[in-house]
Structure 1
């Protein structure tokens, strides 16, 4: 069965809107450092409350998905490729800051999108 580009986009958009449990080990903000030729991922800690929402471990406040959020990251991971960045996080970081397989899958896909944007000179927007 062949799937065209429009169908692929529709499928990915639907899958992006599915419910997943948040990772209690934290979240990442991914961005590009074009001057250095790097894919970067800032890691932030969080806790998950009894409603399944991510909260600031220091204040207990729910973390909003959109808008401005003033928090300090714990670590910045970098890589020249998606694979190098993934290895930095999953194999070299001790402890690994990812505890959910679906989170790891998401990050791998995002790192690949970021690498493509870095190589092509296009804008990277984290999903």
Structure 2
């Protein structure tokens, strides 16, 4: 029987469609004791790849990308961050349910890492 960690690793390798509205880079600011989410817009090309709307280049998932965030959200908990991004935002930045579920999981991982003082790495 697979462990939860093995199952999560396997599921992380599945194909997912990208949200045409944009993506988030999640990190922890330990000095401020906050969970942070940088939001970036993108365009999805005919191959299903995220493209920078400013220069038309494919956004690499393997290399560091130096783009300016369109918006930055910060919160003390995963719940607070979800409310700021989804509920208190007239122009919701998430168009796909699987993207919303993914962000909820990642925000919880970040909250746990913040409160337990362990490393957080976005999946």
The TM tier, using the shorter chain, reads: over 0.9
User: What is residue 104 of structure 1 aligned with on the other side?
Assistant: 100
User: What is residue 49 of structure 1 aligned with on the other side?
Assistant: 45
TM-score, scaled to structure 1: 0.93
Please list every run of 5 or more consecutive structure 2 residues that lacks an aligned counterpart in the other structure. none
* Selected match of 2:7 from 11, 15, 19: 11
Q: Which ranges of 4 or more aligned residues in structure 1 deviate by more than 3 Å?
A: none
**Cα deviation, residue 35, structure 1:** 1.4
Q: Deviations over 1:42-97 (max 9, x none)?
A: 00000000000000011110000022211110100111000000110011122011
Paired positions, count: 123
User: What is residue 19 of structure 2 aligned with on the other side?
Assistant: 23
Q: Deviations over 1:79-125 (max 9, x none)?
A: 10000001100111220110011111110000000000000111110
Please list every run of 5 or more consecutive structure 1 residues that lacks an aligned counterpart in the other structure. none
